[in-house]
Amino acid sequence: MYKLNNKVQHYTWGSRTALTDRFGIANPQQSPMAELWMGAHPSASSQIFIRGAWHSLEKEIADNPLVMLGQATWNNYRQLPFLMKILAADQPLSIQVHPNLIAAKAGFERENIQGIPLNHPNRNYRDANHKPELIYALSPFTALNGFKPFAEIIQSLQALENRLPAVNLFIKNPTANTLRQLFITYLRLKDEQKHQALTQLLRVAKATKGEPWLTIVRLATYWPEDVGVFMPLLLNMIRLKPGQAMYLTAGTPHTYLQGVGIEIMANSDNVLRAGLTDKHVDINELVKNVSFKETSLEKLIFPPSRHKGIDDYDVPADDFALSVITLPTSCCFNTNDYPVLIFCLEGKCTLDIPNTQLTLNLGESAFIPAHNGAFNLEGQGTCVMATVGGKTRTVKGG
């Protein structure tokens, strides 16, 4: 097992203080620290200390795939299939959608044939993988996720002045097709028509209490001329309490608005953006990947299964599973020939296998190769464990 050296991503929406205050991560330049990446993604692989020096985890996996990943993971994925992050948002992220696996493979191949470089700003697909993800809140966490029930969308739209034809059409006949037309209409607003629609929207929002109006006003402070400001009319407002989690599927429009959380996902960086961004937006490709269905709020909170101080989040995707482990319970786990990532969320924890012991302090993490087999976890505090599709299970616990 190996302690990790992880990379911080300095995106503009990130917090300047949250990762330092919570985990002691230095920020001498006082720049926004948006995400701490733990995993082997090619663009920001963690490093492990091996053979007397720091080496890329991605390269070590490539050089020793069966030892590091195990036979089943290598056969199914040819890489570490998950990526875990600590996300700290002070400002809203872009409104976005993730493609499913079929669309990601097709889009990646198509753009490769077109000769678009992987790092080109207009590239839609940076890999051939889907990106289901789970966010586990460490602080009060707000997000938009999925289309609201149609009746709730209508209630918001009816408050608008001088409504667009697509708005009136949806109010009269709320279907997936009219929602699609409305969504596209908002995204394609240009110039004076866009300015007028946003001005009218903000006039109503500032004069109306509650949601979605408060969020619309907040978004407009950051993106006053962006069509993403319309999205709270259509999408569910989510407020996670610390310890609650939310699962995001392919085809679901969403954004994170504010908060600190643990994010785990398939090992992908595929994002199709709809708004609240100055990055590339491809409306045609985005709409092809959106699922225009209503989702009730209660279905978006993802509950764990709980047993002896362990909360297991067994998501529908096979790429990853997350467990939150409350110590001082002494637990024995087995990798079952699957790779494991451990992050110390609170306090201190010790990993113990025969002839080897590794202590993780607050904010530190470790990679346990698949071939390690059984390991003990002890300490005082809370640890987070990521693995492949829930394959690692407690052998015994106190």
Burial of 135 (0-12, 13-18, 19+ CB in 10 A): buried
Short-list 94, 72, 57, CA closest to 256: 94
Cα separation, 119 vs 113, whole angstroms: 15
Quote the DSSP letter at residue 79: S
Please name the residues in contact with 178: beta carbons below 8 A apart, sequence gap of 6 or more. 166, 169, 170
Q: In this structure, what token pair is assigned to residue 145?
A: 């996720």
Quote the DSSP letter at residue 115: T
Cβ(372)–Cβ(335) under 8 Å?
Answer: yes
Q: Mind giving me the DSSP string for 173-215?
A: S--HHHHHHHHHHHHT--HHHHHHHHHHHHHHHHHS-STTHHH
Sign of torsion over alpha carbons 78, 82, 88, 92: positive
Short-list 221, 224, 172, CA closest to 194: 224
Quote the DSSP letter at residue 310: E
Cα separation, 253 vs 295, whole angstroms: 11
Quote the DSSP letter at residue 282: -
Short-list 367, 143, 88, 136, CA closest to 263: 136
Residue 87 phi/psi, 5-degree rounding, is: -105, 130
Q: In this structure, what token pair is assigned to residue 207?
A: 């004069």
Task: Using alpha carbons only, give the angle 72, 77, 81 rounded to the nearest 5 degrees.
Answer: 100
Short-list 226, 244, 219, CA closest to 322: 244
* Catalytic site includes residue 218: no
Quote the DSSP letter at residue 33: B
Query: Exactly one of 123, 239, 273, 393 is catalytic; which is it?
Result: 273
Helix (H, G, I), strand (E, B) or coil at 344: strand
Give the active site residues: 273
